[in-house]
Structure formats: structure tokens, C-alpha cells
């Protein structure tokens, strides 16, 4: 199976069935198929063929989903870049994966001119194109590259996680078996399309001929509007980071309204979900609640379905046991397999483990997640923490070194250390900066500087200009001390 056959099949059988909606438009399977077909034809004319990469840089919309399908039909791979990413970073991704074409929108495309060669192929993904003379549907091998998701890299260069059709489908197939969706289901898509949570929303919906309802980036954390969206779009399967649900409960009045009768599953992943919030959610809805776990490199490899017994616990939910056919074990620091009650780094082997990082050779053997877990009975796991400086901000993974490298490139900065203050919904990146050069860097000036280099979710919120950085006894920067300082509120925080 591959990621584009379903849309072709449903378009043939039931073209008038709803496939995807955005704030401005809704596409049936028939129209989605037609748009994908026409754009595939144009891309072929531009020279895109099997094994090529196409970067799609845009705000999410039904047209973007059609563009993803178009690329796949050529046997090529799509590389999504969020519409809010700066042009310089997108150009870096284009070069890194040696993309053949960039698909984008009329407002964004001109911004690339300063960053890419003059003759680079750019295509407006919403252009009104003539019909395709015939359908394009290249055969793809299960191990063919389907998409590359770029994530933060520790040295300041993003890493491209290469996912094959087999990798993605193993996850989608698992999700379909667990959720048993029907064509009547309505999936919400909360996550950006650059984030692997979106893979479930789109492809589990398409696998059964259901519909997916896109939430634009600007609405993703607008509490009352999200609650309205849940009701008005009659969502039956919701999947997001816990932060979004917490926000809807805290500021959006989610629990004050009766749970939507069609809501039958609420899935969350990307960060721990505070147990009291899970409890409130469980009191409110009879929908199934599922905690999903997995880094981009393995997609979802474990899950835990909330049961009544969980609600009396005082620790976060377990990340649970195997999903998507994965084999999971924890490795102790001495290299031995950790037993029940012991801690170790979680290792993953199985059909969802990525092909590799783009340009760095094929990945072989189990994937070491960098996540420290505690082993529970029946080969289930509980998340404990990280073994490196990678942090999560509302589910987005951020390598602190990536942000520090960008800050240090500012002429008025000689050294920078970034820490996370707060957890869950209130997590914020805070920078400690040693001034260099002639001037004291201004807060807005630093924000502007970062915004040209990093995606939005990696921009720091607070900056402390300091004259020295605290050190541990062996001379390393004392990150724990800085994190404690960062937790002291700079200004009063809202309730």
C-alpha cells in the first residue's frame, strides 16, 4: 500500500464524498483527485520524476494536501515547510534535500528569489491549471521515500527524517485497526503538516474515505475558537498535543459545554499530559482517550489507552506498550536490557523506523530515542526524561544548540545559552546572553535576528542579558541554575 492510492480509489467510487476542509474551502474526493492529477501533470512537465524531492512551503490548506498527493503520484517525495518559516531556512532545506521544485503560494514565492539561483523551478500550487490528459500514478516500492520531515538539529542545521511509504503505512494501518474509523468519521487536523501528528489525521482519514478538517496555524491556540471548531465541524476523532486540550479546558470553556455527541476518540502525543487534566477530560466525555508516543524517526511506536484505573494515579500516563508493529526495549547505561522497575534509554525496532536522515546514509538496526523510560510490567513503559539537550515546546522538538547557534551569530552576542522555563502549555524558551561587540543587544532586535533563521516555534520568548554565566565545578554552563532563574517570572504570568 502507499500514501496516494486511497484518494484515487475513493475518487473513483464515491467522488462526491467530502475529503478535506479548510477555513476557506472544502474538497470532495473527486475534486481532490482532480487537483492532484492536474498538478502532478504540471510537475512532470517541470521534470519531477521518481525519487525526486519537492518542497511544499505554504500555510496549510486543502490545496496543500492536493499538492502532497500530486508529488506522491509521481513517485517523488514531498518535503513540507510551514508557511511561517523564514525564506532563508526554507532555502536551506531546498538545498539540503536538493529539491527539484518548490511548490508554494503567490505571496511566498517571491521571497525565495534572494536565496535560490535565478533559474530554480518555482510553482504556485494554487495556479489554475488545464486538465490533465491522463492520470499519473507511478508505481512506488514500499521502501521508496514518501516524505522528509525536517526537525531541529543540535548543531544548528536541521535534520531531514526520511520516511518511506512502508514506514508511514505501518503506522496508518495500525491507527486504522485501533480506531476503526468509518467514512462517517470526521478527523480534526490540529498539528502543522510539518509535524508527524498530521500523518494520522490525513492518511487514516483517506484510508477509509473519511474527511479531515484542517485547523489553520492562527487558530491552533485560540481557545474559544478551537472549542467552537470542535462543535461546528462535528469532529469525531481529535488528535493534538496535550497543550491544545489544556488550553481549550482552561480558557476555551470546553468542559462547560456538553461533549459533542459524535466525538468518539481523543488522541494526544508529543509531551506528557498532566493527569488532573486527563481526569477532567475523562469526566467530560465518554470518548476513548489515547496517549500516543514516538519520535519523528519512528512515528508512533507505543500507545496507552486511558482506563478508569489510570485516573487515580498521581503520575503522568504511561507511554504504554507497542504500536505499529514496533519492538521496544529499554537499555541500561551498562548496555543490558532493563527489567521491570528499572530505567534505561528506549530503543525501537520495526516497520515504522525511518529510512535514515537525508544525506547521511541508510539507518540500520534499532533506533535509540534518547528518551529515558522506566520499565513497567508486560513490556510497557513510562516516560522519565531526556538524556540530551533536546526539549519539547508544545510538542515541537527543539535542540537548544540550534537556537544557541543562531543567537551567537548576532554581532552583539558573544555567548548564548537557552533553557526551557515552565512545562506543557506554559513552556517558553528563555535565552541568557553574554553581550559581545560594541552594543547591548535589544530584545526585539534579537527576535528579528532569530526570526530570519529559525521556525516560529524555536523563537525565544524571554532574553536575559547577563555579564557572566553560572558554571558547574567542571566548567560547564550550569543549565539547572539558569533554568531556575528562568522560572522566576519576568513579568506576572496570567492565570
Partner 1 sequence: MSDDVTSERISGYIRERFLNGDKKGELEETTPLLEWGVLNSMNTALLLMFIRDELGVVIPPTKINAGNFQDVKSITAMVTDLARQDQATIAAGTE
The site for partner 1 (CB under 8 A) is made up of 23, 59, 84, 216-223, 225, 228-229, 247, 251, 394, 425-426, 442-445, 447-448, 450-451, 456-457, 459-463, 490-491, 494
CB atoms within 10 A of CB 176: 16
For residues 96 and 40, give the distance between their C-alpha atoms in angstroms, rounded to a whole number.
Answer: 23
Q: C-beta of 83: minimal distance to partner 1 in Å?
A: 8
For residues 182 and 202, give the distance between their C-alpha atoms in angstroms, rounded to a whole number.
Answer: 14
Nearer to partner 1 among residue 214 and residue 425 (C-beta): 425
Residue 467 burial class via C-beta count within 10 angstroms: exposed 0-12, middle 13-18, buried 19 and up:
exposed
Q: C-beta of 223: minimal distance to partner 1 in Å?
A: 6
Q: C-beta of 219: minimal distance to partner 1 in Å?
A: 6
Nearer to partner 1 among residue 215 and residue 267 (C-beta): 215
CB atoms within 10 A of CB 277: 18
Residue 360 burial class via C-beta count within 10 angstroms: exposed 0-12, middle 13-18, buried 19 and up:
exposed
Nearer to partner 1 among residue 121 and residue 409 (C-beta): 409
Q: C-beta of 428: minimal distance to partner 1 in Å?
A: 8
Alpha helices in 334-427 (DSSP H): 400-408
Q: Which of 46, 56, 42 is nearest to 105 (CA)?
A: 56
Nearer to partner 1 among residue 381 and residue 432 (C-beta): 432
Q: Return the axis-axis angle of helices 62-73 and 29-45, rounded to nearest 10°.
A: 50
Q: C-beta of 465: minimal distance to partner 1 in Å?
A: 10
Q: C-beta of 456: minimal distance to partner 1 in Å?
A: 6
Q: Which of 201, 204, 93, 202 is nearest to 152 (CA)?
A: 93
Residue 10 burial class via C-beta count within 10 angstroms: exposed 0-12, middle 13-18, buried 19 and up:
buried
Nearer to partner 1 among residue 218 and residue 388 (C-beta): 218
Helix (H, G, I), strand (E, B) or coil at 143: coil
Nearer to partner 1 among residue 4 and residue 190 (C-beta): 190
Q: C-beta of 415: minimal distance to partner 1 in Å?
A: 20
Nearer to partner 1 among residue 87 and residue 353 (C-beta): 87
For residues 290 and 267, give the distance between their C-alpha atoms in angstroms, rounded to a whole number.
Answer: 5
Amino acid at each position: 500500500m502507499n500514501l496516494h492510492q486511497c484518494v484515487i480509489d475513493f475518487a473513483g467510487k464515491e467522488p462526491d464524498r467530502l475529503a478535506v476542509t479548510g477555513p476557506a474551502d472544502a474538497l470532495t474526493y473527486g475534486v481532490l483527485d482532480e487537483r492532484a492529477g492536474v498538478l502532478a501533470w504540471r510537475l512532470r512537465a517541470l521534470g519531477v520524476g521518481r525519487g525526486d524531492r519537492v518542497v511544499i512551503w505554504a500555510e496549510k490548506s486543502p490545496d496543500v494536501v492536493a499538492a502532497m498527493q500530486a508529488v506522491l503520484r509521481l513517485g517523488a517525495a514531498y518535503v513540507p515547510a510551514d508557511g511561517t518559516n523564514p525564506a532563508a531556512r526554507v532555502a536551506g532545506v531546498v538545498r539540503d534535500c536538493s529539491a527539484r521544485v518548490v511548490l508554494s503560494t503567490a505571496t511566498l514565492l517571491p521571497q525565495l528569489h534572494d536565496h535560490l539561483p535565478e533559474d530554480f523551478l518555482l510553482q504556485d500550487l494554487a495556479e489554475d491549471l488545464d486538465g490533465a490528459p491522463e492520470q499519473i500514478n507511478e508505481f512506488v516500492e514500499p521502501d521508496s521515500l514518501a516524505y522528509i520531515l525536517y526537525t531541529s538539529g543540535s548543531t544548528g542545521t536541521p535534520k531531514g527524517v526520511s520516511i518511506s511509504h512502508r514506514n508511514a503505512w505501518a503506522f496508518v494501518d495500525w491507527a486504522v485497526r485501533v480506531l476503526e474509523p468509518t467514512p462517517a468519521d470526521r478527523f480534526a487536523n490540529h498539528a502543522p503538516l510539518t509535524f508527524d501528528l498530521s500523518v494520522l489525521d490525513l492518511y487514516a482519514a483517506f484510508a477509509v474515505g473519511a474527511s479531515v478538517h484542517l485547523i489553520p496555524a492562527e487558530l491552533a491556540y485560540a481557545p474559544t475558537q478551537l472549542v467552537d471548531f470542535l462543535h461546528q465541524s462535528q469532529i469525531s476523532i481529535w488528535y493534538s498535543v496535550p497543550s491544545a486540550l489544556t488550553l481549550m479546558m482552561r480558557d476555551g470553556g470546553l468542559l462547560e459545554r456538553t461533549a459533542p455527541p459524535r466525538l468518539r476518540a481523543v488522541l494526544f502525543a508529543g509531551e506528557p499530559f498532566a493527569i488532573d487534566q486527563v481526569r477532567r477530560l475523562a469526566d467530560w466525555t465518554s470518548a476513548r482517550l489515547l496517549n500516543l508516543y514516538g519520535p519523528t524517526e519512528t512515528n508512533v511506536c507505543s500507545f496507552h489507552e486511558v482506563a478508569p484505573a489510570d485516573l487515580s494515579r498521581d503520575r503522568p500516563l504511561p507511554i504504554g506498550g507497542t504500536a505499529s508493529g514496533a519492538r521496544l526495549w529499554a537499555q541500561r547505561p551498562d548496555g543490558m536490557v532493563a527489567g521491570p522497575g528499572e530505567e534505561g534509554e528506549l530503543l525501537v525496532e520495526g516497520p515504522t523506523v525511518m529510512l535514515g536522515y537525508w544525506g547521511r546514509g541508510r539507518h540500520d538496526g534499532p533506533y535509540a530515542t534518547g528518551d529515558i523510560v522506566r520499565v513497567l510490567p508486560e513490556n510497557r513503559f513510562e516516560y522519565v526524561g531526556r538524556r540530551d539537550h533536546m526539549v519539547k515546546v508544545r510538542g515541537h522538538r527543539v535542540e537548544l544548540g540550534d537556537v544557541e547557534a543562531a543567537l551567537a551569530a548576532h554581532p552583539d552576542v558573544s555567548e548564548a545559552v537557552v533553557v526551557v522555563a515552565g512545562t506543557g502549555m506554559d513552556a517558553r524558551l528563555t535565552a541568557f546572553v553574554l553581550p559581545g561587540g560594541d552594543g547591548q543587544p535589544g530584545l526585539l532586535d534579537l527576535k528579528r535576528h532569530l526570526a530570519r533563521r529559525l521556525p516560529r516555534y524555536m523563537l525565544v520568548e524571554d532574553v536575559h542579558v547577563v555579564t557572566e554565566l553560572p558554571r558547574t565545578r567542571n566548567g560547564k554552563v550550569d543549565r539547572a541554575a539558569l533554568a531556575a532563574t528562568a522560572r522566576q517570572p519576568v513579568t506576572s504570568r496570567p492565570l
